[in-house]
A = this chain, B = another copy of it.
Amino acid sequence: LKPIEWRGDRLVLLDQRILPFETRYIEAKTVEDVAHAIRDMAVRGAPAIGITAAFGMVLALVEKTPSNTQEALKTLARAREILSKTRPTAVNLFWALDRMYNKAVELTSSASSVRELRDGLEKEALKIFEEELDAEIKMGLYGAELLEDGDTVLTICNAGGLATGTGLGTATAPIYIASMLGKRVSVIAPETRPWQQGARLTVYELMQNGIRTTLIADTAVGLVMYRRLVDIVMVGADRILLDGHVFNKIGTLNEAVLAHEFGIPFYVLAPTSTIDTRSRVEDVKIEERSPDEVRTVRTAQGSVYVTLKEVAVYNPVFDVTPPKYVTGIITERGVATHPLSINLRKLLNKT
């Protein structure tokens, strides 16, 4: 599975809008192509967007070669401008664009040609990709140690290779790595309404990678744990507070509380960059999205209504899981267990 592939003069992107109904790739050769792919959500998931945008900056110098490095910087500033307007709330997007532009400024002081500048930027974009993959491999190795031959993992949403762009993912990394190491690991993936990332993306990527996968309705998460069809829960995270509160896709709290009640280990996988060292739980606003996401479902024929158009809807994007229900947090620097507030700090201080 290669959601993002750099081919030297173009970016090949797996079109996630039409998954799992069609597997189609998009070629991006210009900044505008990349902007379009991000804006239209052919690429999704914070790390994947960051990586894609970074290569978009390289393409700025590929699509037409500026006459000198000063002109090249102007071209890159315009590219950053265009790319930054694609998804206004994506933190990884701005982080990647700034890193690429700052690298360009740094290179301009020494680079003798636009070609040299372009090669330097290409290296930087590949480095962003590799750093992401490296973190996922480390999380995957820590997580794989917790998996035994024959285990079944319950997850939620898509914290997979599609979301990160590397093909490995965060919550899925231990599953892929354990599987490569010869352990038979199965996955139960809940549909994850309202966006159905479980049914549309997780199921697709796990099956593509030969992992035995069972789809369930979100209503069935309790029963699969009660009946011991699950050995361990592994989920991603959007934001982790220093006291151990985990913000992740709506439905994570359900799994965490049920796992805690039925004595099943519940692990969160995320790079240390996900740890928010400043906010307290009461500071974090739980974002609500359009009621139509709940009133409709995404199908091969587009979005279709499943209820009355006029029904009132509460559609929170994520929920918050108190530290009490979290067995451990797996990062690229190691696994933090209880007391989370102390052990997360220790991980952050590690180098």
Point out residues on A near B: beta carbons under 8 Å.
20-21, 156, 188, 190-194, 196, 199-200, 203-204, 207, 212-224, 226, 229, 249-251, 253-254, 257-258, 260-261, 286, 294-295, 297-301, 304-308, 310-316, 319-320
Contact = CB atoms under 8 A, between A and B. Distances in A.
Contact of A207 (B215, B260, B308): B308
Given A306-B200, A307-B196, A257 B222 contact: yes
A213 B314 CA distance: 10
User: Interface residues of A: mostly helix, strand, loop or mixed?
Assistant: mixed
A323 to B, nearest CB: 14
A223 B203 contact: no
A203 to B, nearest CB: 5
Contacts of A212: 312
A223 B306 contact: no
Contact of A215 (B214, B260, B312): B312
Contact of A226 (B207, B220, B300, B319): B319
5 contacts: A191-B307, A194-B219, A199-B295, A222-B253, A299-B306
Given A294-B191, A307-B199, A219 B251 contact: yes
Contacts of A229: 314
A347 B222 CA distance: 30
A-B residue pairs, 9 tightest by C-beta: A219-B251, A222-B253, A199-B307, A222-B254, A193-B217, A223-B319, A218-B218, A299-B304, A219-B250
B254 A214 contact: no
B257 A217 contact: no
A91 B207 CA distance: 40
A48 B257 CA distance: 36
A297 B308 contact: no
Contacts of A216: 294, 313-315
A229 B288 CA distance: 15
A226 B253 contact: yes
B215 A295 contact: yes
A204 B308 contact: yes
A229 B315 CA distance: 13
Given A214-B311, A257-B261, A299-B299, 7 more contacts: A191-B193, A199-B306, A219-B250, A253-B258, A254-B258, A257-B258, A297-B306
Nearest to A262: B257
B298 A306 contact: yes
A315 B217 contact: yes
